[in-house]
Amino acid sequence: MTLGVTPLDYRKVFRKHLKEKYLKKGVDKCYHHGKHIESRLLVVKEHCISEKPPCGIPQQNNFIEMEHIFDPDEEGSSLSQTVVLQGCAGIGKTAVVHKFMFDWAAGMVTPGRFDYLIYVNCREISRFANLSAADLITNTFQDIDGPILDVILVYPEKLLFILDGFPELQYPVGDQEEDLSANPLERKPVETLLCSFVRKKLFPESSLLITARPTAMKKLHSLLKQATQAEILWFTDAEKRAYFLSQFSGANAAMRVFYGLRENEGLDIMSSLPIISWMICSVLQSQGDGDRTLMRSLQTMTDVYLFYFSKCLKTLTGISVWKGQSCLWGLCSLAAEGLQNQQVLFEISDLRRHGIGVYDTNCTFLNHFLKKVEGGVSVYTFLHFSFQEFLTAVFYALKNDSSWMFFDQVGKTWQEIFQQYGKGFSSLTIQFLFGLLHKGKGKSVETTFGRKVSPGLREELLKWTEKEIKDKSSRLQIEPMDLFHCLYEIQEEEYAKRIIDDLGSIILLQPTYTKMDILAMSFCVKSSHSHLSVSLKCQHLLGFEEEDRASAFMPPTLTLNQPFQLHNLPVSPLHLLCQALRNPYCKVKDLK
């Protein structure tokens, strides 16, 4: 240590530095919708649901505000040293975390509980072969000198490690205790290092805040010890309304779009996902009523992403449409190569290999899709990870077009990519691929990207799906709701029927299901003409607080030829779902 400078002095300097860093970053730099997220969380008791879960509408005591997630209980002990925030792509997990960091720096949350917050972007560190916990800490303070480790590690109970975007583990590394490390200085493979944190081998006295998609939760759950699990909620109508009002120059324009969503049930539900609201507002702020009319035809997530990219292309200035399409082609192969190599950060040399030049990176057009990494010298990443996943799907949808010169940059087939991590139908990329292969989207894809969808790929994907369903070992790994979302994206009832008819019974077993989940399920089961039993077991059904809309949610034309079971329904607005199913036009034979 420097002569005359005490450990206490360094603690003050480091804390001040960290607070200034997080305050400067600010919530608006994380996500445009960050300030509209109230950070209300739904506490989930377990990831694996018991045989008789208390399924129904969440009650008030099921919720907790993010700012209180680490508060002590009435007896003075903390809720948990480990908190896991789960949520689907685009729900705002990173925004919630950055808002928490900002509020901590401003002294508004957990006063006195944590001296230091160490933020780790799990996707960004995945490019390293080996890392140590000390590397993560010193990287947080890379722009300040001093004995970081000597000072910070004196009080490990005052540390909060934030692991943002916990990966979908490729291998069960956490099952081998001897692989894990308790030494902060020992370098380990990234997944092993992260598992060492989760299993409390590293810094057992410290606290953990983890964010993860539902697809990562099954393996993550097996590593957790006494963790609090909470689900980040979609926008409420009030939050969505506030967001739209903030994005348009006038309230009338904002409300026209907001109420226009009500004319399209699928889009209205999807726009409760913050990333979808952001995309809709981004492209409609300066667009005419014609685009708002077109918006009413958007039924799926793929529709919305394709709509966003096509509108960005049509409004570009200063470059030709061909040049814009050329940039998009480069982004597609860049995205696919990145996904293949678990890479989310790209240098100028990476962009050049995919035909994107320095001039292009300074172009306003690319700012709709890429952003420069803060603190990085000419290092870029996609605006949102789902953009990289969507463009990867486009890459594979167009790959057989021989005029695309960058196909050789990505060596693996789409089957190899998706089977590599055991994700299957849960991969957002494969869900987008299903959506892109809808017969009616071919023209829109060609207009936007200047290339035709590969002939024969649709039938190839269908055959692959049927093979996965019929193979018993593969079928056991499939979460039915993931399959439902894939089939919903392609929006072809005959296609869905061929797949669903191979399923004799379906058990849906997750902690929570959203309106979007039920919409996808309804589309799929109504397509089936075979003997089909659907059993829904969960703790909470989300998004059904409004009785009038809940009663209309299940369409009266729903055709289920076999019993449909909703287990352990409480007396609540959820009973309106049952009333809808009892409609004389509904062909359910038995309702339990």
Give pLDDT, residue 186: 94
Per the model's pLDDT, the better-predicted residue between 470 and 546 turns out to be 470
Give the rounded percent of residues in the chain with a pLDDT score beyond 90.
30
Confidence label for 32 from pLDDT (cuts 50, 70 and 90):
very low
Secondary structure tally for the chain: helices H, strands E = 27, 17
In the prediction, which pLDDT does 547 show?
39
pLDDT in tens, 210-232: 999 988 887 888 888 888 889 99
pLDDT of residue 78: 59
CA nearest 102: which of 42, 34, 14?
34
Q: How far is CA 527 from the centre of its chain?
A: 28
**Range list of β-strands (E), 531-592:** 533-537, 540-541, 564-566
**Whole-model pTM?**
0.86
10 Å CB burial of residue 476 (0-12, 13-18, 19+) is exposed
SS3 state of residue 451: coil
User: What is the per-residue pLDDT across 11-29, written as a single tens digit (0 to 9) for each?
Assistant: 778 778 888 877 776 544 4
* Contact assessment for residue 478 and residue 469, using Cβ atoms and an 8 Å cutoff: yes
DSSP track, 345-396: -EEHHHHHHTT--HHHHTSGGGGGTEEEPTT-SSEEEESSHHHHHHHHHHHH
Give every CB contact of residue 320 below 8 A, 6+ residues apart in sequence: none
Q: Has residue 526 got a pLDDT over 50?
A: yes
**Mean pLDDT within 465-470:** 83
- Residue 31 scores a pLDDT above 50: no
| CB-based burial, 344-363: b 16+ in 10 Å, e otherwise | bbbeeebbebbbbeeebbeb
Would you call 159 helix, strand, or coil by DSSP?
strand
DSSP H helical segments within 479-586, as ranges?
Answer: 480-490, 493-500, 515-525, 547-553, 575-581
Cα-to-chain-centroid distance, residue 29: 18
pLDDT the model gives residue 236? 86
Cα–Cα distance measured from residue 314 to residue 447, given in angstroms and rounded to the nearest whole number? 10
144 closest CA partner among 235, 15, 38: 15
The whole-number pLDDT of residue 298 equals 92
Q: How confident is the model at residue 39 (pLDDT cuts 50, 70, 90)?
A: low
Distance, in Å, from the CA atom of 42 to the CA atom of 61, rounded to the nearest integer, reads 9
Instruction: Give the residue, 306 or 218, on which the prediction is more confident.
Output: 306
Residue 424's nearest CA partner among 437, 414, 438, 410 is 414
DSSP state of 89: T
Q: Are 180 and 201 in contact (CB under 8 A)?
A: yes
Mean pLDDT of the chain: 79
Q: Is residue 458 a contact partner of residue 435, using CB atoms and an 8 Å limit?
A: no
In this prediction, residue 218 carries a pLDDT of 78
Within 10 A of 463 (CB to CB), how many other CB atoms are there? 10
Q: Which residues pair with 120 in a beta bridge?
A: 163
Q: pLDDT tens-digit profile of 98-148?
A: 888 888 888 888 888 898 899 999 999 988 889 999 999 998 887 777 788
**What was the pLDDT predicted at 570?**
40
pLDDT of residue 433 exceeding 50: yes
pLDDT in tens, 316-346: 777 788 888 989 999 999 999 998 888 999 9
199 burial via Cβ count (<10 Å: 0-12, 13-18, 19+): middle
63 bridge partner residues: 42
For residues 452-476, give the mean pLDDT: 81
Token pair for 321: 């449409």
Distance, in Å, from the CA atom of 329 to the CA atom of 410, rounded to the nearest integer, reads 13
> Does pLDDT of 247 surpass 70?
yes
Of the candidate ranges 32-36, 222-226, 296-300, 438-442, the one whose mean pLDDT is the lowest: 32-36
* CA dihedral sign of residues 59, 61, 62, 67: positive
User: Is 397's pLDDT higher than 60?
Assistant: yes
**What integer pLDDT is reported at residue 359 of this predicted model?**
63
Mean pLDDT across the stretch 430-453? 92
Whether the per-residue pLDDT at 574 is higher than 60: the answer is no
Q: In which band, very low, low, confident or very high, does the pLDDT at 581 lie, cut at 50, 70 and 90?
A: low
In degrees to the nearest 10, what's the CA dihedral of 343, 345, 348, 349?
A: -20
What is the total residue count of the chain? 592
Least confident segment among 17-31, 169-183, 372-386, 476-490: 17-31
Cα(577)–Cα(551) distance, integer angstroms: 6
Which tens digits make up the pLDDT trace of 70-105? 887 665 565 678 999 999 999 999 989 988 888 888
Confidence at residue 171, expressed as pLDDT on a 0 to 100 scale: 57
